[in-house]
Amino acid sequence: MNDTGAVKEALRRQQIETPSWAYGNSGTRFKVFAQQGVPRTPQEKIDDAAQVHRFTGVAPRVAVHIPWDRVDDYAALAAYAEERGVRIGAVNTNVFQDDDYMLGSVTNPDPAVRRKALDHLLEAVDIMDQTGSRDLKLWFSDGTNYPGQDDIRARQDRLAEALAAVYERLGDDQRFLLEYKLFEPAFYMTDVPDWGASYAHCVKLGPKAQVVVDTGHHAPGTNIEFIVAFLLREGKLGGFDFNSRFYADDDLMVGAADPFQLFRIMYEVVRGGGYEPDANVAFMLDQCHNVEPKIQGQIRSVMNVQEATAKALLVDREALAAAQAAGDVLEANAVFMDAYNTDVRPLLAELREEMGLHPDPVAAYKASGYYERVVEERKDGQAAGWGA
Q: What residue 135 binds from ligand LRH, Mn ion, none (CB within 5 to 8 A, per partner kind)? A: none
CB of 157 to ligand LRH, least distance (A): 23
Instruction: Return the number of the residue (48 or 249) whose C-beta is nearest Mn ion.
Output: 249
Decide if 91 contacts 136 (C-beta within 8 A). Answer: yes
Q: Is 249 in the site for ligand LRH (CB under 6 A)?
A: yes
Instruction: Return the number of the residue (48 or 286) whose C-beta is nearest Mn ion.
Output: 286
CB of 289 to ligand LRH, least distance (A): 13
Could you give the string, one character per residue 313-352, with x where binding to ligand LRH holds by CB under 6 A and - elsewhere?
A: ----------------------------------------
Q: Which of 135, 249, 268, 307 binds Mn ion (CB under 5 A)?
A: 249
Residue 122 vs residues 25, 155, 165, 210: alpha-carbon distances, Å: 28, 20, 8, 17
Instruction: Return the number of the residue (142 or 286) whose C-beta is nearest Mn ion.
Output: 286
CB of 215 to Mn ion, least distance (A): 9
CB of 161 to Mn ion, least distance (A): 23
Decide if 79 contacts 131 (C-beta within 8 A). Answer: no
Q: Which of 199, 286, 320, 384 binds Mn ion (CB under 5 A)?
A: 286
CB-CB neighbours of 119 under 10 Å: 11
Q: Under rule CB under 5 A, which residues in 201-230 are in contact with Mn ion?
A: 214
How far is the C-alpha of 142 from the C-alpha of 157, rounded, in Å?
13
For ligand LRH, the nearest residue by Cβ is 139
Which residues are CB-neighbours of 325 under 8 A, at least 6 positions away? none
How far is the C-alpha of 197 from the C-alpha of 191, rounded, in Å?
8
Q: Is 241 in the site for Mn ion (CB under 5 A)?
A: yes
Q: What residue 47 binds from ligand LRH, Mn ion, none (CB within 5 to 8 A, per partner kind)? A: none
Q: What residue 69 binds from ligand LRH, Mn ion, none (CB within 5 to 8 A, per partner kind)? A: none
Q: Is 245 in the site for ligand LRH (CB under 6 A)?
A: no
Instruction: Return the number of the residue (179 or 268) whose C-beta is nearest ligand LRH.
Output: 179
Q: Is 17 in the site for ligand LRH (CB under 6 A)?
A: no
Could you give the string, one character per residue 56-95, with x where binding to ligand LRH holds by CB under 6 A and - elsewhere?
A: ------------------------------------x---
Chain mean position to CA 106: 22
Could you give the string, one character per residue 125-164, with x where binding to ligand LRH holds by CB under 6 A and - elsewhere?
A: --------------x-------------------------
Instruction: Return the number of the residue (66 or 86) whose C-beta is nearest ligand LRH.
Output: 66
Please, is 146 exposed, middle or buried when counting C-beta atoms within 10 Å of its C-beta (0-12, 13-18, 19+)?
A: exposed
Contacting positions for Mn ion (CB under 5 A):
214, 241, 249, 286
Instruction: Kindly list the residues in this chain that would bind ligand LRH in the complex (CB under 6 A).
Output: 92, 139, 179, 181, 214, 241, 249, 286
